[in-house]
Structure 1
Amino acid sequence: MAPRARRAPPRRDRRGFAAALRALLCLALCLLVAPGAATAQGDEAGPAPLLDRLTPNRIEVIYPGTTRLEMVEDDGPVAAAAYRGDEMVGYVFSTLDVLRAPGYSSTPFDVVAGVTLEGRITGALVLFHAEPYLLNDAPRTARLVQFLHAMEGGEARLGAETGLPPSFVAGATISARAMRNAVQEGARMVLRYRTEEIVVTEPTIDMINFKPRSPEELVADGGLVNAQITNRALQAAMRKAGLGDLLPEVPMTGGPDETYVDFVAGYANPPMIGRNGTGLEPYDTLINGMPEGTMGIFVATLGGVYDHRGTRFNNLSNDFRFDRVSITQGPRSYSFAKQDVIFTRGKVADILVLPADSGFDPMKPWRAELHAAALRPDGTRAPFVLASLDYTLPPGYILMPEPEPAPVWLEPWVEGQRDIAILLVALVALTGILALQGPLTRRRRLHRWVRNGFLAFTLVWIGWIASAQLSIVHLVNYLKAPFVDLSLAFYLAEPLIVILSIYTAISLVLLGRGVFCGWLCPFGALQELLAQAARALRLPQWNPSERLQRVLWNGKYLSLAVILVLIVIAPGAAMVAEEVEPFKTAITAKFVRGLPYVIYAVALLLIGLFTERAFCRFLCPLGGALAILDRLHLVDLLKRRPECGNPCHLCERSCPVRAIESSGKIIMAECFQCLDCQVEYYDDRRCPPLAKLRKRKEREQRQPAAAPAQAAKLGGNFA
């Protein structure tokens, strides 16, 4: 009597656990995107008062030399006034109080900083954050401290350059950039509310800033233009006017190089020019004693026997004209009478007044002309131009609108152009590999070189150099972003991750999970390369049975479900649970991390030496998410034959991750697209159907050659 066949358990029983896990995942995702998910992170609990968070040591870092802090009691952004002795020197504030700017984790961080009354950052220090790529990472945290310290002395303006670029905190560039921007923007908000700073929306004459300056200093910075006319230059001007045979109205003294007149001119309205030039009283007359919009031209004689005034402006016969100076701008000319001049006592310095409706534009170039006269033999005057001074108001005397800061997301894209180009070239190459996998897998050695070369690139450049390891953290953040008021900038802040995410999403829909997991995951590449080394060293290999493997596959769904549920009910615990991925330790931090994390990562790699890609197959939460979505894929490029699985099991045995069932079916949710099965598929010396066909063709090729020989032998016998 034949023994009774062992009955296989019903298929629904084997898959019941997986179905339950998938239901749990759906519940977790619904909770995650619920409108109240943000409040589950404890946002309703406000921070402690600012002064309670600041110890003396922290204050010394934020605002060195501060002797005391006092909270500012007004309706503006929360800030404390910083004092040195009895003098208030600036403010101390917290980005958490002022902006609540979110970090990469979408949880607002707390960076305290100081700003001077002049608008300069005095220091910055992070008190709290939940940034996944900074937590439990001492080297990277130390770099963040240096990065924030280097902001000292920088402008309190969003977009202003600082001492170090955000890329200095490699692996946490987004977090560093977000903290820097929050400090700059928060400092400007604190200052604007409490100072008399004018918000400039278009170029405006600087009527605020003033400090004492000499005429020489004003000439040096362009506030004044100067003409020093010597006796020799006077004679040259007269010859140019055709008056070389006459004598000047005001006689020369001294030799040819003696100064005849030292004349300056400039726009008088900026206090740095007009007030320094004439003194407070004449300048006040221009600004406060004249109708609104009145403008002034400052003119002065600093030395020489000639001056810009003369005496004729006092004569009725001259119509009281101030005829030694005129102004031209484009087609317009401006001359002045005595009543158009604000005179200065004690020095030859005056303001020529232009009414608001004169058409004069101080922002545009203009010219001041100094006039003189020669005496004809009959005693009449022959006027000529002694000096022409071209003037343009320097930029330092014009208040410009703050430059519109570039979008926050644009900076990393501009800075990372080289890395972006390298990654795009690599993705084009990978697309070519997948599209041309037929010709590639027909050449076993070429396939192995291409495969290992790309894995090495993924590990070394994408992982260790560019730190572009896609992880469950990115997936969760992308899912949460629309529901916690994060802008498009949040998605675009990491160019390489954005590009990889887009490529992974497209390839997932088209070909399945294996494109990313098998080709673009740095930790997966590290496992596979180590596994190849282990097989070369003949280390024993273990793979679970088909039934046990189905159970173990559910581990990645379980780890994904735990993380998603914890994010909703216990965000702090979720950050710990996300450490199930060793990516941060092995790839981003390059094993420079706390000992427990290093031991865990190394342990996973050691297991992978005996069971290839054990972590990817049985524990990776990102792999679990991609495996769920793999069911959407549209195209199956991996070829199969009717003989696959019955009777042939060659591909099943050659699959390093056992993603092929004994029936010959490829389980695409577990396939890493390594193409090893396709190498076997096209190998006519190993694939039984192809080997059989090859042998038949070889026999057919030999038979025609044997027929003539057989006929010759028979013909000889008959002879």
Structure 2
Amino acid sequence: MTIRIADITTAPFRRLWLAAALLAALLCSAILAPARAQSDGAATASLLDRLTPPVLAAIYPGVTRLAMVADDGPVSAEAYIGDDMVGYVFSTLDVVRAPGYSSTPFDVVAGVTMDGTITGAVVLFHREPYLLNDRRRTEQLMMFLDALEGGEARLGAATRIEPGFVAGATISARAMRNAVQESARMVLRYRTEDFVVTEPTIDMINFKPMSPEALVGDGGLAIARVTNADVIAALERAGLGDLLPEVPMTGGPDNTYIDFVAGYANPPRIGRNGVGLEPYDTLINGTPEGTMGIFVASLHGVYDHRGTRLNNLSNQFRLDRVSVTQGRQSYEFTKSDVIFARQQIADILLLPKDAAFDPMKPWRADLYATALRPDGQREPFVLASLDYTLPQGYILMPEPTPPPVWVEPWVNARVEIAILAAALTVLTGILTFQAKLSQYRRVHRYLRTGFLLFTLVWIGWIASAQLSIVHLINYLKAPFADLGLAFYLAEPLIVILSIYTAISLVLLGRGVFCGWLCPFGALQELLANLARALKLRQWNPPERLQRHLWMGKYLSLGLILTLVVFAPEAAPVAEEIEPFKTAITAMFVRGLPYVIYALALLTIGLFTERAFCRFLCPLGGALAVLDRLHMVDLLKRRPECGNPCHLCERSCPVRAIERSGKIVMAECFQCLDCQVEYYDDRRCPPLAKARKQRERAARQPAAAPAMPGLVLPKEATT
């Protein structure tokens, strides 16, 4: 085919040139805008200049002085109360430079104590599109950041308020929370040389004074309380019921014979509290590295775990009253294996250097006694057994690897995801079986009105899942701003709607989203239905004027893309061309100018259906450009459409059908009104004519049948 220069000025080629220009602008905005945004973000004041007295009082109350840390670590300042350093203050912009929903990094300053507690957080700068010029959400964000106070400086740590509290700006809130937690952890680890645990490790760091009773209470020590009655029972179990213990019992059956305690001695809370500082220091510093000890003590009663024979050479200095067993391995001890406490009957029993002993696994301590036969022979028996497992509180565990940041919103939104998936399944069924559905005018009207109400109320006002030009621009910019998969998946409902819109756009065209899934579009159409019910006069521009008005949405799209590239600070203002934030996500709770603008557009829509969608919507412009790619036309046409019949053209509420009968798919909202007319055999002229012919044929009497046995003359039959 030969193309003349003059042909390039025709309408089809103008649309192709426009599509190419807008796609190029989208690509430019994706490539150039992140660089501009990052350069703008870098031009900030120093940390101390940003930490004004009111800000400092909010993020770290009581701090009287700051001093910048001069090293190569994360930028931070030491916080002092008087002469005492109590923690650090930092900025997420300096430490992790995290972006929120926009590609421009925000600046949240916060404080953290030396023990890893966040003291407060304040946002100084952001370009989050759903927070700008929105006082209600900004106040919610401030309350959300205030709730970080007292939380743990660890990514993934729980907070008092969930990010969903900042309704409509959940992604921004979650990103700021994560940035504060991650920055605080990085600052502390670098400055304090925080002990990093990569596998379960015995806690050899933490210590606080505790009594034996308190250690028994938290599981650090296990106790066996043996009464005189228990001694008699132990003798019976050993088959020595006719004998008495070598150490005589005193008092009645309930009197204490011994309170025997045992535990793993290496943690300072157990060993140091049990035997005192000097004996414990002998275990830690006076024995070969890696030596393990078992703490045993006799607290009350006439019996003790030492006895006297550990001092006898004839007994080989054995501590014959105590043994330790783990699995199939048993350990016995001599006097040289014992570190004695000086002020109580408490000892640390040293395990052999080559002992295959795992202190994190269960073990058992057995306490023995002896019974005397009349001939003086001693008979040993087990007096008590202690089963012991070191409590989790004495084991340092590796910090749990937080799940990818996108997992949290998907888990939290699982109910909403299920509802949206069900709705999209219904919509898919409507589009798939639209030919059948369109044959029932009333069913079509009820089903469409019901789905539009669902889109407005649930998708828009409840779930705040209004897809907008902001999402499209951010998705395009993300790969060039090094924003990973988490950025794309941070908003589950928007992700699902975006994928469904992209697929339906390629298959069927723009109208699936604009006509069925856009909450603001649904609001306009429902109001238009109400206006027609009230018999308000409707106006639609002539075809030629309408073609010029259609260009408005491309111009608004071009304006936004231009500002994104060359004046990113002004782009959020231009994005307010979309009233979605005001009418849907904020539900009209915004500044008066925004509310007046949204109401003005809705008022115009009462007289010209979906005027904003048709003539001004930048997202609609982007989808209309890409509509040229759609592959399938499900909307049916007949040769009579446009010549001579104009029924569908007149029934189209948005005038997306030309006088020739051709449907302009880039302007079609897939409402199926034209298909209802197409299948109506009482309104569609070709179908009506065929119906009338069938009815006339049905009314004509059938030819009389010949009488049986009657033969007619030949001339009569002819």
The TM tier, using the shorter chain, reads over 0.9
d(CA) in 1 for partners of 2:36, 2:136: 32
TM alignment of 1:136-175, pairs within 5 A: 136-175=133-172
The correspondence for 1:348, drawn from 323, 345, 348, is 345
Write the letter of the residue equivalent to 1:321: R
Worse-superposed segment, 63-72 or 502-511:
63-72
* Alignment deviations for residues 212-255 of structure 1 (CA, whole Å, 9 cap, x no partner): 11100000000000111111111111121112221211111222
The correspondence for 2:401, drawn from 384, 401, 404, is 404
The correspondence for 2:312, drawn from 312, 315, 329, is 315
Q: Are 1:593 and 2:593 an aligned pair? A: no
Q: Which residue of 1 aligns with 2:205?
A: 208
The correspondence for 1:278, drawn from 260, 275, 286, is 275
Worse-superposed segment, 13-22 or 608-617:
13-22
d(CA) in 2 for partners of 1:100, 1:57: 23
Q: Which residue of 1 aligns with 2:284?
A: 287
Q: Which residue of 2 aligns with 1:59?
A: 56
CA 1:410–1:568: 2 relative to 1, 3 Å: same
3-state SS of 2:390 partner: coil
TM alignment of 1:78-117, pairs within 5 A: 78-117=75-114
Q: Which residue of 2 aligns with 1:303?
A: 300
Q: Are 1:384 and 2:392 an aligned pair? A: no
Q: Which residue of 2 aligns with 1:572?
A: 569
The correspondence for 1:609, drawn from 603, 606, 610, is 606
Q: Which residue of 1 aligns with 2:712?
A: none
Aligned-pair Cα RMSD in Å: 1.7
TM alignment of 1:190-209, pairs within 5 A: 190-209=187-206
Tell me if the contact between 1:70 and 1:82 (Cα under 8 Å) persists in the aligned partners: yes
d(CA) in 1 for partners of 2:12, 2:313: 113
- For normalisation by structure 1, the TM-score amounts to 0.95
Q: Are 1:447 and 2:432 an aligned pair? A: no
- For normalisation by structure 2, the TM-score amounts to 0.95
Tell me if the contact between 1:299 and 1:350 (Cα under 8 Å) persists in the aligned partners: yes
Q: Which residue of 2 aligns with 1:30?
A: 27
Tell me if the contact between 2:137 and 2:166 (Cα under 8 Å) persists in the aligned partners: yes
Q: Which residue of 1 aligns with 2:652?
A: 655
Write the letter of the residue equivalent to 1:595: L
d(CA) in 2 for partners of 1:677, 1:198: 71
Once the 2 structures are TM-superposed, how far is the Cα of residue 17 of structure 1 from its aligned partner? Answer: 6.6
Write the letter of the residue equivalent to 1:220: G
d(CA) in 2 for partners of 1:10, 1:331: 94
Tell me if the contact between 1:292 and 1:356 (Cα under 8 Å) persists in the aligned partners: no
d(CA) in 2 for partners of 1:45, 1:79: 16
The correspondence for 1:48, drawn from 32, 45, 48, is 45
CA 1:292–1:35: 2 relative to 1, 3 Å: farther
Q: Which residue of 1 aligns with 2:710?
A: none
d(CA) in 2 for partners of 1:671, 1:409: 35
3-state SS of 1:266 partner: strand
Once the 2 structures are TM-superposed, how far is the Cα of residue 45 of structure 1 from its aligned partner? Answer: 3.2
Q: Are 1:551 and 2:541 an aligned pair? A: no
Percent identity between the two aligned chains: 76
* Alignment deviations for residues 295-341 of structure 1 (CA, whole Å, 9 cap, x no partner): 00001111111111111111100001011110000000000011111
Query: Structure 2 unaligned runs (5+)?
Result: 1-5, 708-718
d(CA) in 1 for partners of 2:684, 2:383: 102
Worse-superposed segment, 595-604 or 9-18:
9-18
Write the letter of the residue equivalent to 1:667: V
3-state SS of 2:342 partner: coil
The correspondence for 1:627, drawn from 615, 619, 624, is 624
Tell me if the contact between 2:91 and 2:110 (Cα under 8 Å) persists in the aligned partners: yes
Once the 2 structures are TM-superposed, how far is the Cα of residue 344 of structure 1 from its aligned partner? Answer: 1.2
Q: Are 1:481 and 2:471 an aligned pair? A: no
* Alignment deviations for residues 557-611 of structure 1 (CA, whole Å, 9 cap, x no partner): 1111111111111111111100000000000000000000000000000000111
Tell me if the contact between 2:272 and 2:280 (Cα under 8 Å) persists in the aligned partners: yes
3-state SS of 2:570 partner: helix
CA 1:104–1:392: 2 relative to 1, 3 Å: same
Query: Structure 1 unaligned runs (5+)?
Result: 1-8, 712-719
The correspondence for 1:535, drawn from 515, 532, 535, is 532
* Alignment deviations for residues 11-58 of structure 1 (CA, whole Å, 9 cap, x no partner): 936678756644542442232233674235534733211111112222
d(CA) in 1 for partners of 2:514, 2:616: 13
d(CA) in 1 for partners of 2:172, 2:412: 16
d(CA) in 2 for partners of 1:44, 1:678: 53
CA 1:636–1:365: 2 relative to 1, 3 Å: same
d(CA) in 2 for partners of 1:536, 1:588: 28
Tell me if the contact between 1:21 and 1:558 (Cα under 8 Å) persists in the aligned partners: no
* Alignment deviations for residues 378-418 of structure 1 (CA, whole Å, 9 cap, x no partner): 11211111110000000000000111101100111111111
Write the letter of the residue equivalent to 1:539: L
Once the 2 structures are TM-superposed, how far is the Cα of residue 208 of structure 1 from its aligned partner? Answer: 0.3
CA 1:482–1:51: 2 relative to 1, 3 Å: same
TM alignment of 1:462-473, pairs within 5 A: 462-473=459-470
d(CA) in 2 for partners of 1:113, 1:604: 42
CA 1:356–1:48: 2 relative to 1, 3 Å: farther
d(CA) in 1 for partners of 2:423, 2:132: 31
Tell me if the contact between 1:132 and 1:575 (Cα under 8 Å) persists in the aligned partners: yes
* Alignment deviations for residues 271-292 of structure 1 (CA, whole Å, 9 cap, x no partner): 0100111111111111111111
Aligned residues: 701
Tell me if the contact between 1:41 and 1:568 (Cα under 8 Å) persists in the aligned partners: no
The correspondence for 1:124, drawn from 121, 126, 147, is 121
d(CA) in 1 for partners of 2:27, 2:7: 31
3-state SS of 1:378 partner: coil
d(CA) in 1 for partners of 2:331, 2:415: 57
Once the 2 structures are TM-superposed, how far is the Cα of residue 648 of structure 1 from its aligned partner? Answer: 0.3
3-state SS of 2:299 partner: strand
Once the 2 structures are TM-superposed, how far is the Cα of residue 467 of structure 1 from its aligned partner? Answer: 0.3
Write the letter of the residue equivalent to 1:519: W
d(CA) in 2 for partners of 1:30, 1:419: 33
Tell me if the contact between 2:7 and 2:13 (Cα under 8 Å) persists in the aligned partners: no
Q: Which residue of 1 aligns with 2:130?
A: 133
CA 1:271–1:568: 2 relative to 1, 3 Å: same
CA 1:579–1:663: 2 relative to 1, 3 Å: same
The correspondence for 1:394, drawn from 383, 391, 397, is 391
Once the 2 structures are TM-superposed, how far is the Cα of residue 196 of structure 1 from its aligned partner? Answer: 3.7
* Alignment deviations for residues 609-666 of structure 1 (CA, whole Å, 9 cap, x no partner): 1111000001000000100110111100000000000000000000000000000000
Q: Which residue of 1 aligns with 2:411?
A: 414
Q: Which residue of 1 aligns with 2:642?
A: 645
CA 1:696–1:548: 2 relative to 1, 3 Å: same
d(CA) in 2 for partners of 1:243, 1:259: 21
d(CA) in 1 for partners of 2:212, 2:129: 59
* Alignment deviations for residues 434-466 of structure 1 (CA, whole Å, 9 cap, x no partner): 111111111111110001000000000000000
Tell me if the contact between 1:122 and 1:153 (Cα under 8 Å) persists in the aligned partners: yes
Write the letter of the residue equivalent to 1:156: A
Once the 2 structures are TM-superposed, how far is the Cα of residue 165 of structure 1 from its aligned partner? Answer: 1.0
TM alignment of 1:326-341, pairs within 5 A: 326-341=323-338
d(CA) in 2 for partners of 1:412, 1:47: 31
3-state SS of 2:300 partner: strand
d(CA) in 2 for partners of 1:601, 1:119: 47
3-state SS of 1:357 partner: coil
